Amino acid sequence: MSASVKAAIKQGLFTALALSLVTTFVSPLFAGALTTDVTTAKGNETGSDNILGGTPTRVTWEAVVDEGEQVVGVDVVYPQGSSFSDESSIKVTVLDGTTRMNPENTASLDAATTTAKVNFSEPLQSGLRLRLEMYKVSLPNVDGAVSLNGTYKLADGTVKDLGASPSIEVTYASVAEGISNWLDQQPFVQAWNSVTFLRLFFQPQLIVSSIPTVATGWLISLGLVLVGFPLAIPLGLIAAFMKISKARILHILAAIYTGVVRGTPLFLQIYIAFFGLPLLGININQYVLSILVLAFNSGAYLCEIFRAGIQSIPKGQFEASRSLGMSGTQTMFSVIIPQTVRRVIPTMTSEFILLYKDTSLLAAVGVMELMLYSRSIVSLTGNMTPYIVAACFYLIVTLPLIRVVGNLEKRLALADNGGGAPKKKRKGRRDAFSQMREEISSTTETIEAAEQKVAEVQVETAAAMAGDASVAIDTNAAAARAQERHEATPTDTDERGDAS
């Protein structure tokens, strides 16, 4: 208690000292002059009172003519980096107390020197207040205080310096904020925003100004999943081996792991990890913990994907390598896994997509990621647009991947059910293909076509059941069985692409 009081006193002393110094040096400049007492600028950032640099704003400058002075002209000079545009304008007001005077004057803005010039035909008498309002002028794009300078001319022809005006706090405006503020002025944007739905969900200014913030969150989400997912792969692989192992204890351990993780919501797992570990006195960086939770969760799903993938390899492959004298390990690593990889890539990609979307759940425990960044703007503006922007950031990753998965699955289905289908994509292999064709009797072709239809129907059925990894793999297994039955017919040449 006493410590904070001491600190407060100390701070107070410093402030007093600083103030006295300022007064000592600054006051003489004002003596017997035109005293600038107001310099303000209108807030020009959407949704806040900030004054953005480099962005048109309205600057108000006021000065009072001191005792014994007669002012005939004023030049207000803007600091380096300011700019006027064709649309900039100036309005002169002279007040006597609250009475508005209208002395004859010429006022202009000089863009080259960024100076506002005002000349009066009749000198302004002492006690009068001169107000200059300069519209659509831009202050320098810096972070910090700026002030206006300049000179004034007295009736006797002497020119004196104006004291430094009160300062204006300017905020640095990013490109996005610049564009956003430009949009603010556009008639078509105003027309668009006059529709309530469009204004609340698709406000152009907010789209532009929220992109940098949401993009930061996007990078974090992507980072979390790009680190977490590769960690999940060895975890899933080990669990898969444990699950197919003959050792009962290993099988049970893996079954508990996959059962518990897949049987409970990730949301709950995040809560337990984020609130449970600190209770145990374990404090891990929240991003590291996020990655660990994601990897732990995804590992269980990958385990099932790998297990199903390994078990979908035709039994004949195990038997062939066994009869060639290969050991269990040799069979696994040189025969089964290389073939499994090809089969599980589509489902693995689906799992990656799911995990990427699930990073949003981390928002609940305050991990700053895509979801939370967009929510922060939403709560500031009360507008849904940042969520729409967030949706787009999710989609730019997921949509291409969904497409990739689709293509891979199509190729896999073809490879598993023998050739025969799309000839267009296989120009380079036409020769081998037609040669194979010649060797196949027409009967086989008919059987093959029927076989393929069956497999296609199987694939479609599985696709209709949407997204369930195990179902997708089951299809692969079904297709693999179909292949086993009909290995006599040449299979798709696509397999070549995967030959190491």
Partner 1 sequence: MTNGDASMGNTRTIVSLDNIEKSFGDNVVLKDISLKVAKGEVVSIIGSSGGGKSTLLRCATLLETFERGSLAYGDMIVARKEPDGRAVYLGKDILKQARLKFGLVFQNFNLFPHRTVLQNVMDAPIRVQKRDKGEVEKEAHELLSKFGLGGKENMVPCELSGGQQQRVAIARALCMNPEILYFDEPTSALDPELTQDVLKIIRDLAKEHMTMVIVTHEMTFARDVSDRIVFIDKGVIVEEGSPEQVIDNPQHERTRSFLRKIYD
The contact set with partner 1 (CB under 8 A) reads 314, 316-317, 319-327, 330, 334-335, 338-339, 342, 415, 419, 429, 432, 436, 439-441, 443-444, 484, 487-493, 495-496, 498-500
- The residue among 358 and 494 lying less far from partner 1, judged by its C-beta, is 494
- The one-character DSSP state at 69 is -
- Min. distance of Cβ 183 from partner 1 in angstroms? 55
- The residue among 51 and 415 lying less far from partner 1, judged by its C-beta, is 415
- Min. distance of Cβ 327 from partner 1 in angstroms? 7
Which residue in this structure is represented by tokens 């036409």? 430
- The residue among 100 and 437 lying less far from partner 1, judged by its C-beta, is 437
- The residue among 403 and 496 lying less far from partner 1, judged by its C-beta, is 496
- The one-character DSSP state at 75 is E
- The one-character DSSP state at 276 is I
- The residue among 273 and 336 lying less far from partner 1, judged by its C-beta, is 336
- The residue among 103 and 338 lying less far from partner 1, judged by its C-beta, is 338
Q: Which long-range contacts (CB under 8 A, 24 or more apart) does 373-382 make?
A: 373/213, 373/214, 373/216, 373/217, 373/220, 374/210, 374/213, 374/214, 374/217, 376/213, 377/206, 377/210, 377/213, 377/214, 380/47, 381/46, 381/47, 381/206
- Min. distance of Cβ 409 from partner 1 in angstroms? 18
- Min. distance of Cβ 421 from partner 1 in angstroms? 13
Residues 495, 500: Cα–Cα separation, whole Å: 11
- Min. distance of Cβ 304 from partner 1 in angstroms? 23
- The residue among 176 and 447 lying less far from partner 1, judged by its C-beta, is 447
Q: How far is CA 366 from CA 58, 287, 361, 363, 387, in A?
A: 39, 10, 10, 5, 17
- For residues 298 and 229, is the Cβ–Cβ distance under 8 A? yes
Angle subtended at Cα 499 by Cα 493 and Cα 500, rounded to the nearest 5 degrees: 165
- Choose among 185, 167, 158, 60: nearest CA to 116: 60
Tokens of 170: 């300017």
- Min. distance of Cβ 412 from partner 1 in angstroms? 12
- Min. distance of Cβ 275 from partner 1 in angstroms? 47
Which residue in this structure is represented by tokens 């369930």? 468
- Min. distance of Cβ 476 from partner 1 in angstroms? 14
The type of residue at 268 is L
Residues 17, 27: Cα–Cα separation, whole Å: 15
- The residue among 109 and 482 lying less far from partner 1, judged by its C-beta, is 482
- For residues 356 and 266, is the Cβ–Cβ distance under 8 A? no
